[in-house]
Amino acid sequence: MALSDCEIIELPKIHDPRGNLTFIENSRHIPFDIQRVYYLYDVPGGADRGAHAHRSLHQFIVAMSGSFDVVLDDGDRKRRFHLNRSFNGLYVAPMMWRYLDNFSSGAVCMVLASSFYDEADYYRDYGEFVAGVKSVKGSKE
Ligand code: TYD
């Protein structure tokens, strides 16, 4: 998967004077089936989260409240995304190093994930991640 596969997806939005409504239906709106939902909240000012990559996990990140940035790095190039709308989300393909920063106060970051939590799926060392990217590319050549 390439960095260009990771993009902001605009979700359906039902406008209503009583309040807007957005929904997400598995692979209809995001490119995977959801097995897990987790969220970050009460993030102190100046904190960074993430700083890891996943071997096979697909994720979709939504700023449910407030705003923050997600920086994606495919081992070669980096891209920074600003999330600040609850009807938008960022699709993060497997094998992308990511960190989250620039959290506004009260920000809530919801993550939809394609699998249950599995520590064995993580790269927590950037050097190992880059070596992993090279070995995946090498095996495809
Ligand atoms: P981690 O993925 O490192 O958080 P972040 O990417 O936001 O900085 O996870 C932090 C801790 O929480 C780690 O001990 C694993 C645990 N955890 C779970 O038990 N289940 C989960 O679904 C997630 C995402 C983390």
SS3 track for 43-61: CCCCCCEEEEEECCCCEEE
Residue 138 has pLDDT above 90, yes or no: no
Quote the pLDDT of residue 101.
Answer: 97
Question: In the predicted model, what is the mean pLDDT of residues 67-94?
Answer: 98
Q: What secondary structure does DSSP assign to 23-91, as a single string?
A: ---HHHHSSS---EEEEE-SPPTT--EEEEEESS--EEEEEEES-EEEEEE-SS-EEEEEE--TTEEEE
Residue 140 has pLDDT above 80, yes or no: no
Residue 85 has pLDDT above 80, yes or no: yes
CB distance 49 to ligand 1 below 6 Å: yes
For the chain, which residues make up each domain, given as ranges? 3-10+35-140
CATH top class, domain 3-10+35-140: mainly beta
Residue 82: active-site member: no
Quote the pLDDT of residue 139.
Answer: 80
Which phi and psi (to 5°) does residue 123 adopt?
A: -105, 120
Q: pLDDT digits over 54-77, tens only?
A: 999 999 999 999 999 999 999 999
User: Residue 50 CA: which ligand 1 atom is closest?
Assistant: 6
